[in-house]
Amino acid sequence: MVKAVCVINGDAKGTVFFEQETSEAPVKVTGEVLGLAKGLHGFHVHEFGDNTNGCMSSGPHFNPRNKEHGAPTDENRHLGDLGNIQAAGDSPTAVSITDSKITLFGADSIIGRTVVVHADADDLGKGGHDLSKTTGNAGARIGCGVIGIAKI
């Protein structure tokens, strides 16, 4: 088993936990994010664990297989495409995702990369906007943090 944690800072703040039993098992992503306006917010793993220039230095979505942006259930998607989280407004936003494409093991591990929370909804590559197939047109990066190994 591998566990990881990400402390999100910025206008959006929170803590997100990652857990994977084996390299073949899905990753369970849980936690909460504060400071989100009501609605959907893009939630992605970006390529670099570099937050020296805030969330902007985290690079593009983690995409080692050179796929187009898509929904978490799409075969053609970036590994870092985790879809949206739903904010109710004033209360903390729960994160509860199970994903079979990301991993905490091996060369494609997301450990050391950055989770980014976006200002707007991710259109899951289906919005027809110029940015739909690269970013999901999810808007500004309003919170981020590096994923680190956690104690088991």
56: domain CATH number is 2.60.40.200
Instruction: Confirm if 41 and 62 have CB atoms less than 8 A apart.
Output: no
Domain count, the chain: 1
Give φ, ψ of 56 to 5 degrees: -65, -30
Range scoring the smallest mean pLDDT among 17-21, 87-91, 103-107, 123-127: 87-91
What's the CA gap between 81 and 86, in Å, rounded? 15
Please determine, for residue 89, whether its predicted confidence score (pLDDT) is greater than 90: no
Q: How confident is the model at residue 90 (pLDDT cuts 50, 70, 90)?
A: confident
Instruction: Read off the pTM.
Output: 0.96
Q: How confident is the model at residue 152 (pLDDT cuts 50, 70, 90)?
A: confident
Residues tagged active-site? 44, 46, 61, 69, 78, 81, 118, 141
Please determine, for residue 133, whether its predicted confidence score (pLDDT) is greater than 90: yes
136-149 residue pLDDT tens = 999 999 999 999 99
Q: What is the mean pLDDT of residues 9-17?
A: 98
Give the domain extent around 51: 2-149
At 150, is the secondary structure helix, strand, or coil? coil
32-81 residue pLDDT tens = 999 999 999 999 999 999 999 999 999 999 999 999 999 999 999 999 99
Q: If we measure between CA atoms, which residue out of 59, 41, 53 comes closest to residue 119?
A: 41
What's the confidence (pLDDT) of residue 91? 84
At 137, is the secondary structure helix, strand, or coil? coil
